[in-house]
Amino acid sequence: MRKKIGYPLVIKAVVEGKTHKTEFGGVAIDIGNEEELIDKANKIVGRLKDMGIYDKFAGFVLQEMVSGIEVIIGGLRDEKFGPLVMLGVGGIFVEIMRDISFRIAPIARTDALEMMAELKAGRIFEGFRGRGVNKDEIIDAIVRASRVIASMERIKEMEFNPVIVNEEGAFVVDARFVLK
């Protein structure tokens, strides 16, 4: 079922073998109208051709533009500890900031709260400079992710990044799964 979305929106290129769309210029945000959408799509296609990866281009995904704080929620299956759930500073800065907390999955709501407090940037969940967050939604998202990684043994890694958190809720903007 297709949902009609309005502007502003985000366009993302889907390219086989490429999980980080920003690395090849495959994302354009805050698009305000159809003319701008067509222009951004053409520019992305041009970059894909210039980079020699246009043959792996599968199309575009259009998403509603959501603003807020970017976090990463994920999980992995560790050889020693088993299923782990992860929370951290998200978006394109996840590898640079390395502000991440782990727990053995599945977890309870109190564990999710502890994970949030452990982050150096943990104050963002209390609201910061006029940016509020829906704490219950982010806690629920962490707990649900922990249940998924704990119960689905076929999943080796999963990553929801970014998850945009604002006063309204927690919105998964991109996801990646690695299966055994």
pLDDT, tens digit (0-9, with 9 covering 90-100), for 46-58: 999 999 999 999 9
Are 49 and 119 contained in the same domain? no
Are 74 and 145 contained in the same domain? yes
Final residue belonging to a domain, choices 40, 64, 88: 64
Alpha carbons 160 and 172: distance in angstroms, whole number: 6
Are 44 and 81 contained in the same domain? no
Q: Does residue 2 belong to any structural domain of this protein? A: no
User: What 3-state DSSP class applies to 32?
Assistant: coil
Whether the per-residue pLDDT at 72 is higher than 90: the answer is yes
Are 81 and 14 contained in the same domain? no
Are 43 and 102 contained in the same domain? no
28 pLDDT tier (thresholds 50, 70, 90) = very high
Average pLDDT, the chain: 91
CB 71 within 8 A of CB 138: yes
Are 84 and 135 contained in the same domain? yes
Within 8 A by CB and 6+ apart from 35, the residues are none
Domain count, the chain: 2
Are 15 and 73 contained in the same domain? no
Final residue belonging to a domain, choices 64, 93, 109: 64
User: What is the model's pTM?
Assistant: 0.84
Final residue belonging to a domain, choices 20, 37, 64: 64
* Mean pLDDT of the 34-47 span: 94
Q: How many residues does the chain have?
A: 180
What proportion of the chain, given as a percentage, has pLDDT over 90?
A: 74
Domain of 118, CATH number, reads 3.30.470.20
pLDDT the model gives residue 21: 80
Are 100 and 174 contained in the same domain? yes
Report pLDDT digits (tens) over 133-166.
899 999 999 999 999 999 999 999 999 999 999 9
Are 35 and 60 contained in the same domain? yes
Question: What stretches of the chain adopt beta strand conformation (E)?
Answer: 9-15, 27-31, 57-64, 69-78, 82-89, 100-104, 155-165, 170-172, 175-179
Whether the per-residue pLDDT at 105 is higher than 90: the answer is yes
Domain range spanning residue 126?
69-179
Q: Does residue 3 belong to any structural domain of this protein? A: no
pLDDT the model gives residue 2: 57
109 pLDDT tier (thresholds 50, 70, 90) = very high
Are 175 and 86 contained in the same domain? yes
Are 90 and 144 contained in the same domain? yes
Q: Does residue 4 belong to any structural domain of this protein? A: no
Are 80 and 132 contained in the same domain? yes
Q: Which of 86, 89, 70, 98 is nearest to 148 (CA)?
A: 86
